[in-house]
Chains A and B, each alone.
Chain A
Amino acid sequence: SQQGEEDPQALSIQEGENATMNCSYKTSINNLQWYRQNSGRGLVHLILIRSNEREKHSGRLRVTLDTSKKSSSLLITASRAADTASYFCATFPNTGNQFYFGTGTSLTVIP
């Protein structure tokens, strides 16, 4: 399977703390994207990082990419209760024609 793997599967933190989740994948990629899914809803695109980029920021989000280790991390700083959701990474392989989604990290932010 080319599916990515997120780690941890579940994460519970206090409001105001930082949340870090990781994604590992198997093949060389063109880009990697992170998505968020609130319970019972569709996915929402958060950030895209290309294979030649190492770090990207968007508001309270920071994404890193290490292509030598085939891994990425998503950091959410100063978390809020509204950040409670599942977070998925999606990879687009260099030789592929579709995205492969990971199994997700379920984040709970306790007010």
Chain B
Amino acid sequence: DGGITQSPKYLFRKEGQNVTLSCEQNLNHDAMYWYRQDPGQGLRLIYYSQIVNDFQKGDIAEGYSVSREKKESFPLTVTSAQKNPTAFYLCASSQGGNQPQHFGDGTRLSIL
């Protein structure tokens, strides 16, 4: 069954700690995306990658970092520089450009 897997489902971060959210897809999609969702604000783009070993900043990249070493994987690191990390994080993939996106079931990050 093809799809996107995000883990963990829930994550807690301590002060000054970096945490990494996992996103894996087996849809053979070239493009992958990370979004942040806050209540009442819809989705905002953090980073996206159109091809392996390349990625671009979205609208709210500050305090986050990504890597794209494999086509299937696009992990997101929330660094200690991100002062308000509490949110629901969604990973998506697509065949690229303006094509429909397939989403994982999200990771909810909270501060301890």
Contact residues of A with B, CB < 8 Å?
A: 3, 30-31, 33, 40-45, 48, 88, 90, 92, 97-99, 101-104
Q: Among B44, B48, B58, B104, which residue has its beta carbon within 8 angstroms of that of A42?
A: B104
Cβ–Cβ contact A92 & B102, under 8 A? no
Closest 6 CB pairs of A and B: A42-B103, A92-B98, A101-B43, A45-B100, A103-B42, A43-B103
Identify the B interface with A (CB < 8 A).
4, 6, 35, 40-45, 48, 56, 58, 90, 92, 97-98, 100-106, 108
Q: Are B101 and A45 in contact (CB under 8 A)?
A: yes
Given A43-B90, A103-B42; 13 other pairs, CB 8 A cutoff:
A31-B98, A40-B105, A40-B106, A42-B90, A42-B104, A42-B105, A42-B106, A43-B43, A98-B45, A98-B48, A99-B45, A102-B42, A104-B42
Provide the residues of chain B in CB contact with A88, threshold 8 Å: 42-43
Instruction: List residues of chain B with CB within 8 A of the CB of A41.
Output: 105-106
Q: How many angstroms between the C-alpha atoms of A30 and B100 in the bound complex?
A: 13
B42 and A101 contacting across the interface, CB-CB below 8 Å: yes
Which residues of A have CB within 8 Å of B4? 42
